[in-house]
Structure 1
Amino acid sequence: MVKFLKFLLWSGLAGGGGVLLIAASAYLYLSPSLPSVETLRDVHLQTPLRVYTRDEKLLAEFGEKRRTPVRIEETPEFLVRAFMAAEDDRFYSHPGVDIVGLMRAAVQLVSTGSIQSGGSTITMQVAKNFFLSHERVFSRKFNEILLALQIERELNKSEILELYLNKIYLGNRAYGVEAAAQVYYGQSINELNLAQLAMIAGLPKAPSRYNPINDPDRALIRRNWILGRMLDLGYIDNNNYQTAVSQPVTARYHGSRIELQAPYVAEMVRQEMIERYGPEAYTEGFQIYTTVDSSLQETANQVVVDGLFAYTERHGYRGPVTNLNEADQNLEINNSEIQSNVDVWKEALKNARSNRILMPAVVTAVEDKTAHILLRNDEVDVIDWDNLNWAKRFINVNAFGYDPKSAGDVLKAGDLILVRKMPDGRYRLSQDPEAQSSLISMNPKNGAILSLVGGFNFFDSMYNRSTQAVRQAGSSFKPFVYAAAIHEGLTAATMINDAPIVFADKGLEGTWRPNNDNMKFNGPTRLREGLYRSRNLISIRLLREIGINRTINFLESLGFEDGTMERNLSLALGNVSLTPLQLTAGYATIANGGYKVSPYLIDRVETVDEVLFRASPETACPECEDLLDNPQEQTTEQTEVPEADSGSAIILARGDQDNHIVDLTGEPDTQRITPAEQVMDPRVNYIINDIMSDVIWKGTGRRAQALKRHDIAGKTGTTNDSKDAWFVGFNPEVLTSVWIGMDDYTTLGRWEYGGNAALPVWIDFMKVALDGKPEQRLPQPDGMVSLRIDPKTGRLARQGDKNAIFEIFRQEKAPTSVSEGSIPSLNDIEQSFKPEDLF
């Protein structure tokens, strides 16, 4: 017996020594290749790129992995306990490796012949997820054990648990518990109940097998097992347990929690971030705060859609997508076969294309003034006559049929159609607009883009008309030509003959006979009237008088590129190839007092820890003139300048050798700006602004009087054959451009102009953009005079002339001669202009 005990003792010692020898050998072999655990302290979790509005509404999320890191102190205690019950209930007591768990895994291996579970602790899973592969081999397991021991020596339990909860893969592209809460429940982790927390804790074992979306029954079993373990371990009481296990499975897939639709904006940001940071932009957790205002973006989305539907309804109904009864000649509408028809209709609806704006529907019956429809999900509804009677038959872009008299003139049973839901909840017969549109709104003082829409539906066409569509500007470009004329010495009272003219211009390939859009001629006309009435022949004579080269030189100083402009007289009519964004940027110079600014969209780029970038926009800043004029006197004195869009404080600081406005306060919410270059004489700018106000009160933009504001100005634009319709308008705070046209450059139709196609969209947008804002005007610069003139001659009015009107001039360009040789009285010359005299 003694010998046997000695044998067991020596055998045990030999076995233990062998195990130690093997472990030591494994450690000596593997430890040189182990990574440093210290890197975990500086770990950068792969977090997607997120794009926000300036008021912090999520526009988009880009990246393969959805992840939102959370700190351990922000994590619900029940969640931590649920993961411990499911994965490692001795987490707080073991040194990183649980011997009991490893022995259990070894027994399973011996009894089954294959690896059933790894016996991994939470610490070992951290080691695997951050440093090792998921290959199920013994060498990886040894590395995992060694790393877990190292991790436990260098990090505390809370740090380890935080890494684990943020790193673990939980299915459906969700990495980490916060992302899982958003994916499965559309809520933050702190908003979930115990049953939902336990459901998430059940996912690490097999994210696809126990997924509550893919297999809710199996996921429910796993969840209830975890709740039972929590009860057994004393983590919850019986009341908690009974309440939780009685909860149904409520998980469903929630995509990225997009709070505002602005896909054209989001794509512009994504492209810019890739240019700046490369592929790492998708994984480094960048948070991009744009200049976009969420309420204005929502308005822009809606008015563009409404404007395109208004256009398509003006031109008539092109008919249904198809008629399902005619498509299958074996089907007839009768009582015995009605169910067969319904089955066909439902299948067609399931396969029909739809988007967030237009929904497919099948006409099930037609009455005198009503159409009954079937939508997806077995929803039934009606289209009332006032949502149907627009549908005259489309013949071509210039012609349509008679007004329908009944619903049967438009629809019949079996028609597969498109409908849209109106604000009152009713459905309206619709169709895909063939035209497209762009809307851009910006702050003209610094170029901050407030809203942008690049087309009817991004998900049908990602082509961004705001930045990519090169279109002719038409008459919307005329203000720049007129500004060049005033810059060269002409005045708003200069008389120009509105009469027929013929040119034999080699640059125009033969004889050119331009005309006015209404085919009428007004004879001698003041320059002011020529612009607000958009008279083509006046614009051409104006350009010929000042010269093409001088005009283009002036336009280049404003920021327009020579290559975009034709070097012939057609330039006067807007023969300029520009994107809507380029034209809008040009208008900013008119709207802000003559300063050249650049459009920008990204206000700042942040990570969890720091601000990587903050915009320093070139800003129209008259308050900065003294500093720029006297750079040698600059000190560290600070001067306040007007606030930016974001409302953050802006400090004008002297002392920067490049005359930049810089932040000397060190405050993170202080925006840096750069004084913009003044490229237009402020007096020339003031006169052009004043004339463009007349476009609204006397000219082609009269519809905008509906806004009942006297601080707005703008210009319509229509190109040859109505291929492009524009309206660009502004006040000193908000500048907005609207373009409507066909992608294939075909005509919009004979009666489509900037004033009836684009201007209504602009009005609907600016009604919201300017709501509640006081009227503002650019201040009148020094060196200007207001004189009473004879409107028929442009000269000073004679004393007592009842037809005389006020006009504004640069002082040195003011007229001196008087109509019919009379001498003006002192009362006829005003040194301060009165705006009310214009209206």
Structure 2
Amino acid sequence: MIRFLVIIFSLFLLLVVLGGGSSLFVLWRFGRDLPDYKQLADYRPAVMTRVHAGNGSLIGEFARERRLFVPTTAIPRLVIDAFLSAEDKTFYSHPGIDFAGIATALFRNVWNVMDGGKRRPVGASTITQQVAKNFLLTNEISIARKIKEAILAFRIENAFSKDRILELYLNEIYLGIGSYGVAAAALNYFDKSLDELTLEETAYLAALPKAPNNYHPIRNRKAAKERRNWVLRQMADNSVISPLDAKRASARVLLMRRPDPTRIFEAGYFAEEVRRELLEKYGENRLYEDGLSVRTTVEPALQAIADQELRAGLAAYDRRHGWRGPLTRIKVTDDWLTALGKVPIPKGIGNWYTAVVLKLNAEKAEIGFSNGIEGGIPLKQLIWARPWRKGERVGPRVRRPSDVLNVGDVVAVAAVPKTDKSYHPGYYSLQQIPAINGGLVAIDPHTGRVLAMSGGYSYEASQFNRATQAMRQPGSAFKPFVYAAALENGFTPSSLVLDGPFVIDKGRGQGKWKPANYTKRFYGPSTLRLGIEKSRNLMTVRLANYIGMDKVVDYANRFGIMEDMPPLLPMALGAGETTLLKLTTAYAMLVNGGKRVVPTLIDRIQDRRGRTVFRHDARDCPGCVSSGWHGQVTPQIADLRQQIIEPGTAYQVVSMLEGVVQRGTGIRIKVIRKPLAGKTGTTNKNRDTWFMGFSPDLAVGVYIGFDNPRSLGRRETGSSVAVPVFRDFMARALAKRPAIPFRIPPSIQLVRIAGETGLPAGPNERHVVLEAFKPGTVPNNSGPVLDGTLAAEAINTSKRAGTGGLY
């Protein structure tokens, strides 16, 4: 008997030794080349960057993987319990491997094989093992990988807390339809945050980790519901919920609700400009993976107005210059629906429809849509479509639909609104995507915050941002800065300058430079105010020549309009190149009293943990942080803005630009009946048109021109093209704001001046203006007229530039 016991003990000891040796060998063999699990301590899952408007509206998301990082402390307990019930109910008690689960799975799988293999094999991977596989290993199906997974699971359990392991798992796991992590899945499947999920929705998400594509709630509805109900039963078995709650939730329909695309406010050009700025500031990895939360300056209400009015202005110009033809042509047969369905929808068509012309008669064009519905375009909606001619001219008047359209033409149309006199059910208007383009920028002049930015007719059609990327000549919109330089060098708004011929010999063999006014006329001695109100080129050139182009260059630099501007006289007429954003910012610095502001699209940036990593307004304000009002002294924040010109000079320019709206080239804006000021700009051969202006608290710039510069046509100037856009934008933007007058510096003296002579006005004087003067500069009698006798040659004979501004 003793001998038998010795044999049994020896065999047992041998098995232990062999087992221990085998285990050590396995650990040595598979554990020596394993990835370093300690890297998980510094693991930061790739999280999308989200960009918000000033009011909190979402305007953009940038990511390689659509993941939202949520710490376990912020994840609802029900969500955690659902995933633990479905994936690893002993998570908080096992050491990384669930030995009981492995034994149970092994027994079930053996029984399944003996029963004919009708059921799928059962796994026993713990959440820790899944973390090891997802983060450190591949998806290879092999015994070796499972052994490595188990070894890593032990090591991870020894190195990290259970909550940290769970946090890694719930934020990394892929749950289908581009969703990484539970927070992203909640948004993509149900358009909800985690704390808004119902019990049945939570159970559904917990059903997805094994095979998300197999449980799609629409394509595989039956399997998805069965898997969800299984999770509910598991939760009830684990006493997470009651059996009654599980039964009720199982009876509910599985409904998927994708995120509403309209929850992202459309501000394509603005959002893309923010993306470029973030890319330059932080690099590609931080932008797409670091989960930044960006609060921008855009005001959705102003942005919507900007987009609408710019589109309307571009369309209005485009219609004035005729019909360029259909989108394409197809054969109209009995199968025209199929042919029309194959026509690609052009980018930039927006809310319009594509239709094919089926028949033509004297009253209308009969059209058909890809859904089989038919309608008509009445002649009244075709009158505008005179044929386009080279040079932005138009052909003969339209007298019948066949003058515009042919059977088989595929065109863009829009339903005739009920407010239109030609409205009739089933009637449509002919539309055309403009060939011209432009931009609009609105800025808070006191802070530089960009409140709206529209960089073109359609972001879908072209991502080129005409507000920030298009380098264009500003033309006469540059003139106020020449006048600002003059006002700080001995001139007043009532100083007289000769509006007469100006000729400079550019040198041997170079000919003569002879700038001219838009009207090709001369007006004799005129005040600076009149020169800017009527946009007189000859006065501006004579003024720049007298004060010196070096001063004009200095002011262009001060206002950030352009760097390294050559000191050539044509530059005084806006022959240099700048962007709409830079020029709008320069005008903002005029109306804010001559203080430097830097345009910004971003107010604040926070990292994934909510820490502020960037703030545009970097000023300290210790007294601004308070739990409430307790009668304390109002905090005073220091004004750190640099004074780039005298406040008095800035106001004098503003006052003269107000005259542009009241009496000059911007008179179409006067109908708004609120204090507004600004300047038109049109370049040589009418290639670029501008209006730059402001109210006391809003600076706005409008640029319109072709992407490949060419003439906009005869008589198309800043007054006819850009001014209407500015006017309509300001009318809506200021509709609910009080009429605030421009702020006058204490040093300024207002005097009634005769507009023609520049002298104090008598009692019966006509054309009187209230002029702004600095102390000691009010004229008592007629002063000298700047007529060019003291002019010095100021044009570089080695270079030749266009004349820039015209009107």
TM-score between both structures, scaled by the size of structure 1: 0.81
* Preserved CA contact (<8 Å) 2:559 2:589: yes
Alignment of 1:114-153 (within 5 A): 118-152=123-157
The alpha-carbon distance between structure 1 residues 549 and 380, as it changes in their structure 2 partners (threshold 3 A), is same
- 2:551 is the counterpart of 1:557: no
Q: Quick one: higher RCO (CA 8 Å, sep 6+), 1 or 2?
A: 2
| 2:278 equivalent in structure 1 | 273
For residues 159-199 of structure 1, the C-alpha deviation after alignment (integer angstroms, 9 at most, x for no partner) is 54343222211123311112112223333344444444344
Residues 423 and 812 (structure 1), Cα distance of their counterparts in 2 relative to 1, 3 Å cut: farther
Specify which of 409, 413, 420 is matched with residue 415 of structure 1.
409
The 8 Å contact of residues 487 and 684 in structure 1, kept in 2 or not, is answered as yes
Q: Report the CA distance between 1:696 and its aligned residue.
A: 0.6
Q: Report the Cα offset of residue 563 of structure 1.
A: 2.7
Q: Distance in 1 between matches of 2:127 and 2:681?
A: 67
Alignment partner, residue 310 of structure 2: 304
**Cα 1:372–1:127, aligned 2, differ >3 Å: closer, same or farther?**
farther
Q: 5+ unaligned residues in a row in structure 2: which ranges?
A: 111-115, 420-426, 629-634, 784-807
Deviation per residue, 1:128-179 (Å, 9 max, x gap):
3334333334344334334434555666655543432222111233111121
Q: Which residue of 2 aligns with 1:709?
A: 674
Classify 1:800/1:668 alpha carbon distance in 2 versus 1 (closer, same or farther; 3 Å). same
Assess if the C-alpha contact under 8 Å between 2:364 and 2:379 holds in 1: yes
* 1:285 and 2:291 are equivalent in the alignment: yes
In 2, the alpha carbon distance for the partners of 1:121 and 1:461 equals: 50
Whether the aligned pair in 1 keeps the contact of 2:600 and 2:616 (CA below 8 Å) is no
Please say if residues 615 and 672 of structure 1, whose CA atoms lie closer than 8 Å, have aligned partners that are also in contact: no
Tell me the equivalent position of 1:497. 498
The structure 2 residue matched to 1:178, chosen from 176, 183, 201, is 183
1:411 Cα deviation after fit: 3.6
1: CA distance between counterparts of 2:638 and 2:372?
56
CA offsets 1:183-235 (integer angstroms, 9 cap, x no match) = 23333344444444344333221233434466556545544554555566666
Measured at CA, do residues 445 and 164 of structure 1 come closer, stay the same or move farther in structure 2, by a change above 3 Å?
same
* Structure-2 change in CA distance of 1:6 and 1:412 (3 Å): farther
| Structure-2 separation of matches of 1:85 and 1:783 | 77
Alpha-carbon deviation of 1:668?
A: 12
Question: Which letter maps to 1:272?
Answer: E
CA contact (8 A) 1:349 1:361 kept: no
- Shift of the 352–377 alpha-carbon distance from structure 1 to 2, 3 Å rule, reads farther
Match in the other structure for 2:459: 458
Query: What is residue 98 of structure 2 aligned with on the other side?
Result: 98
> 8 Å contact 2:85–2:231 — kept in the other structure?
yes
* Cα shift readout 1:330-368 (whole Å, capped 9, x = no counterpart): xxxxxxxx9842442443246665654554333455566
Distance 1:602 1:797, change over 3 A: closer
One-letter code of the match for 1:494?
A: S
Cα deviation code 1:211-269 (max 9, x no counterpart): 44665565455445545555666666676566655656644765987521222222222
Residue 593, structure 1, aligned to residue 587, structure 2: no
CA distance in 2, matches of 1:116, 1:673: 71
- Give SS of 1:812's match: coil
Aligned mate of 2:722, from 758, 761, 764:
758
1:686 aligns with 2:651: yes
Structure 1 residues 68, 682: closer, same or farther in 2, change over 3 A? Answer: same
Q: 1:315 aligns with which of 289, 310, 321?
A: 321
Aligned mates of 1:10, 1:763 — CA distance in 2? 101
Distance in 1 (CA, whole Å) between partners of 2:688 and 2:508 is 23
Letter in 2 for 1:551: V
C-alpha separation between the residues in 2 aligned to 1:256 and 1:119? 40
- Three-state SS of the structure 1 residue aligned to 2:215 is coil
Q: Secondary structure at the match of 1:129?
A: helix
When structure 1 is superposed on structure 2, of 13-22 and 268-277 the one drifting more is 13-22
Which residue is 1:52 aligned to? 52
Give yes or no for contact 1:437–1:456 (8 Å, CA) kept in 2.
yes
Q: One-letter code of the match for 2:146?
A: K
Q: 1:198 to 1:800 in 2, by over 3 A?
A: closer
- CA separation of 1:105/1:592 partners in 2, compared to 1, >3 Å: closer, same or farther? same
1:262-661 mapped onto 2 (5 Å cutoff): 262-281=267-286, 282-325=288-331, 340-349=334-343, 356-364=350-358, 371=365, 373-375=367-369, 383=377, 387-420=381-414, 428-506=429-507, 509-564=510-565, 566-617=566-617
Tell me if the contact between 1:617 and 1:674 (Cα under 8 Å) persists in the aligned partners.
Answer: no
Partner residue, 2:792: none
Mapping of 1:31-110 within 5 angstroms?
43-72=43-72, 74-75=74-75, 79-92=79-92, 94-103=94-103, 106=106
- Give the conservation status (yes or no) of the 8 Å contact 1:186–1:257: no
Look up the match of 2:698: 734
Q: For each residue in 1:497-523, what CA deviation from the matched residue of structure 2 results, as whole angstroms up to 9, or x when unmatched? A: 333444333499422333222233333
CA distance in structure 1 between the aligned counterparts of 2:230 and 2:604, rounded to whole angstroms: 47
Pair 1:192–1:817, CA change in 2 (3 A):
same
Scaled by the length of structure 2, the TM-score of the pair is 0.84
Post-superposition offset of 1:725: 0.7
Does the 8 A contact of 1:443 with 1:449 survive in 2? yes
Q: Cα–Cα, structure 1 residues 448 and 127, in superposed 2: closer, same or farther, change >3 Å?
A: same
Partner of residue 202, structure 2: 197
User: Secondary structure of 2:708's match?
Assistant: coil
Q: State the 1:324 CA deviation.
A: 1.2
Aligned sequence identity (%): 35
Which SS does the other structure have where 2:411 is aligned?
strand
The one-letter amino acid of 2:49's match is L
Letter in 1 for 2:488: H
Q: What is the match of residue 636 of structure 1?
A: none
TM-superposed CA distance for 1:780, in Å, is 2.5
For residue 743 of structure 2, what is the aligned residue in structure 1?
Answer: 779
Output the amino acid matched with 1:499: G
Aligned residue pair count? 763
CA shift for structure 1 position 594: 0.9
Write the mapping of 1:803-818 to structure 2, written as runs, cut at 5 A: 805-817=769-781
Moved more, 481-490 or 375-384: 375-384
Cα distance in 2 between the residues matched to 1:666 and 1:78: 36
Match of 2:172 among 145, 167, 180: 167
Q: Describe the shift of the 1:802–1:699 C-alpha distance in structure 2 as closer, same or farther (beyond 3 A).
A: closer
Cα distance between partner residues in 2 of 1:551 and 1:159: 63
- Cα distance change of structure 1 residues 661 and 688 upon mapping to structure 2, 3 Å threshold: farther
CA deviation after TM superposition for structure 1 residue 744, in Å: 0.7
**Contact residue 436 and residue 707 of structure 2 kept, 8 A:** yes
Please provide the CA RMSD for this pair.
Answer: 3.9
**CA contact 1:290–1:604 (8 Å) conserved in 2:** yes
- The SS at the match of 1:738 is strand
CA deviation after TM superposition for structure 1 residue 63, in Å: 1.5
1:677 is matched with which residue: 632, 639, 642? 642
> For residues 777-809 of structure 1, what are the alpha-carbon distances to aligned partners after superposition, in whole Å with 9 as ceiling and x for unaligned?
443334433334443322344576566554332
Q: What secondary structure sits across from 2:613 in the alignment?
A: strand
State the shift of 1:18 in Å.
3.9
> Is the contact made by 1:293 and 1:451 (CA closer than 8 Å) also made in structure 2?
yes
Please say if residues 64 and 173 of structure 1, whose CA atoms lie closer than 8 Å, have aligned partners that are also in contact: no
Moved more, 736-745 or 66-75: 66-75
Distance 1:519 1:438 in 2: 30
Amino acid at match of 1:205: K
In the TM superposition, what is the alpha-carbon distance from 1:407 to its structure 2 partner? Answer: 4.5
- Residues 801-838 of structure 1, C-alpha deviations (whole Å, 9 max, x = no match): 5665543322232212269xxxxxxxxxxxxxxxxxxx
Does the aligned pair in 2 maintain the 1:662–1:672 contact within 8 Å? yes
- Give the match's secondary structure for 1:563: coil
Q: For the Cα contact (< 8 Å) 1:50–1:62, is it kept in 2?
A: yes
Aligned-pair CA distance for 1:539: 1.7
1:384-440 per-residue CA deviation (whole Å, 9 max, x = no partner) reads 666544323323343223443454543454321123578879864222211111111
